[in-house]
A and B are shown apart, each in its own frame.
Chain A
Amino acid sequence: MLACVLSPTGGSARVCGFDVNEEPAKVRQRVGMLTENSSLYERLTAFENLDFFAKAYGVSNKSERTLRIRQVLDFFELWDRRGDKVGCFSKGMKQKLALARALIHKPTVLLLDEPTAGLDPKSAKEVRDTITRLSRNEGCTILLCTHHLEDAESLCSNAVIMNKGKSIAYGTPESLRTKTGGPPILEIVLKKKDSRVTESIRRLLPNEAVMEDGPKMLVSIDDESTTPEIVRCIVQAGGLVLSVRVLKPSLEETYLRLIKQADEE
């Protein structure tokens, strides 16, 4: 709907200041879209695909068009394969070419629908890295729709969690994790279990929970800045620290918790 491919059944939305109901052509002109399927013409070459879409988006000047095609194909490291038919490309290459197509007209907004779906881990990482480079180099707003929460966690500056078509949470991935997943937990692994160490931490943080699991200790903390103080306390109590790690709920855990809460309500 935001790409003006489908009409909304109700409500309204504005993209780049244009109403999707009243000025769909202006919205389409400013939006680049990557669908879940690469939607490329497999009998055309990579260059022919981009040339067609550049013309369709109104890049009518031939030299300008060729220059832009070269830019995007260079960016995605596909310039050497420009003359090859898309049908012989790997899935990862197709996805990169589909991203190149979405960028061919220098859109203000880029809509990416499941960009890493169905890709092998190597290709998925390449696409993720490319999206990161894109947000830096192209300077366009990227709206990423994904079920891969590690993608959202590593790529997005802001995230909306949707449940049954409704927004149930909005914020940075960090703030969403903190808000819904509770405070972080410090995991400390000692060389050997020492009750003096546990006692000294309880004295330092009388209001926080401290749990022991053999040589491993879990300490609930308000924020990470208290970590050096806790480590110093352990060392002063004669403890030998093997490792210290701050455990935070992942975005996936946050997501599952939020969805469960929303369903219960």
Chain B
Amino acid sequence: MINVRKVALVFSKDWIEIQRNYQVLLPLLVIPLIFAVMLPLMVIGSTASVPAYASSEGLQTLLRTLPSHVVSEIAGMTGRQAIIYVISVYLFAPIFLTVPIMASSVIASDSFAGEKERRTIEALLATPLSDGEMLLGKMLVSLVPAVLVTVGAFLIYSTLVDHFTLEMFGGGLLFPNVTWMMLIFILSPAIAFADITLTVLISARAKGVKEAQQISALLLVPLIGMVLGQLSGVILLDPSLIIVIATALMAIDAVMFAASVKTFGRDHMLARLT
């Protein structure tokens, strides 16, 4: 039986620790800065020299690789408008998923492997808190800030893109849109949770925070595949694909959560302390 107050207790203790740990706080501030501020500014700045009309041969070749419904969305746009629209609405979508992965990985590895590394886990495991209460508290303290950072980064990103493109698109807003709302509020939490469960599994074996972070970064590999797929026109993150990926991820989450519960047992966590 899991006591919600005890879960909240573990959550609040870890939350205070995170707020005072610059090694965790700094990446949480820098990651959104890179993805939400620097990338859109670079795209908008670098497209200033794109021809006014989508007539150049190179541009036409690039646009031809896009799925037909995207081509129809950009029909009638100028070259610069088309490039900014495609990059900021479609190409950046999978890249943006790096934010919840990196944020959750930084916090979860500190919360799980960090307790082992600093050997504070021994006293924690000696308390009457159940394995489930500790695990859930620690998972939530990794998930909630990761989701908040992702939402915050999205708000900054969409505001910036809208601000710089408002006049260019004749007052029309690029954000928010359905694809990105689903990406931020459905896919991001699912992918962050997958990363957290992976970190729990790794932390049981890893000796320290850095090792746990390095291994959990493996989750970025399928993401890179998705970005390449978007670039080559093989896949496109639209609402229907997001639902498929999110459903598959939730199933994986459930399996990995069950494995995490098993792994987070007192014997497992303490037996591997070296």
A binds B: yes
Q: Which residues of A contact B (CB under 8 A)?
A: 3-7, 25, 28-29, 31, 33, 35, 37, 39-44, 48, 52-53, 55-58, 60, 85, 98, 101
- Min C-beta distance of B197 to chain A, whole Å: 24
- Please name the residue on chain A nearest to B8 by beta carbon: A55
Report yes or no: A58 in contact with B128, Cβ–Cβ below 8 A: yes
Show 23 A/B contacts (Cβ-Cβ < 8 Å), sorted by A: A5-B125, A5-B270, A6-B267, A6-B271, A31-B126, A35-B119, A35-B123, A39-B121, A39-B122, A40-B120, A40-B123, A43-B20, A43-B21, A44-B13, A44-B16, A52-B9, A53-B127, A56-B9, A56-B124, A57-B128, A60-B5, A85-B20, A98-B123
- Please name the residue on chain A nearest to B126 by beta carbon: A33
Report yes or no: A42 in contact with B127, Cβ–Cβ below 8 A: no
User: Within the assembled complex, what's the spacing in Å between the Cα atoms of A6 and B130?
Assistant: 14
Report yes or no: A28 in contact with B127, Cβ–Cβ below 8 A: yes
User: Within the assembled complex, what's the spacing in Å between the Cα atoms of A28 and B266?
Assistant: 13
Given contacts A25-B128, A56-B127, contact A43 B9 (CB under 8 A): no
The residue that B128 contacts in the complex, of A6, A28, A35, A43, with Cβ under 8 A, is A28
Q: Please, which residues of chain B bring their CB within 8 A of the CB of A25?
A: 128, 130
Q: Please, which residues of chain A bring their CB within 8 A of the CB of B66?
A: none
Using a CB-CB cutoff of 8 Å, which residues 1-45 of chain B contact chain A?
Answer: 5-6, 9, 13, 16-17, 20-21
Q: Which residues of B contact A (CB under 8 A)?
A: 5-6, 9, 13, 16-17, 20-21, 118-130, 266-267, 270-271
Q: Please, which residues of chain A bring their CB within 8 A of the CB of B266?
A: 4-7
Q: List the 3 closest A-B pairs by CB distance, nearest first.
A: A39-B123, A56-B127, A43-B20
Report yes or no: B120 in contact with A39, Cβ–Cβ below 8 A: yes
User: Within the assembled complex, what's the spacing in Å between the Cα atoms of A35 and B118?
Assistant: 13
Report yes or no: A5 in contact with B13, Cβ–Cβ below 8 A: no
Q: Please, which residues of chain A bring their CB within 8 A of the CB of B121?
A: 39
* Contacts A35-B119, A53-B123 supplied; 15 other A-B pairs, CB < 8 Å: A3-B126, A4-B126, A4-B266, A5-B125, A28-B127, A29-B128, A35-B123, A39-B120, A40-B120, A41-B17, A43-B21, A44-B13, A44-B16, A56-B6, A85-B20
Q: Please, which residues of chain A bring their CB within 8 A of the CB of B16?
A: 43-44, 48
User: Within the assembled complex, what's the spacing in Å between the Cα atoms of A42 and B267?
Assistant: 24
Report yes or no: A52 in contact with B13, Cβ–Cβ below 8 A: yes
Interface-central residue, B13, B127, B267, by most chain A CB under 10 Å:
B127
- Please name the residue on chain B nearest to A9 by beta carbon: B267
- Min C-beta distance of A202 to chain B, whole Å: 60
Q: Please, which residues of chain A bring their CB within 8 A of the CB of B126?
A: 3-5, 28, 31, 33, 35
Report yes or no: A41 in contact with B120, Cβ–Cβ below 8 A: yes
Q: Please, which residues of chain B bring their CB within 8 A of the CB of A7?
A: 266-267
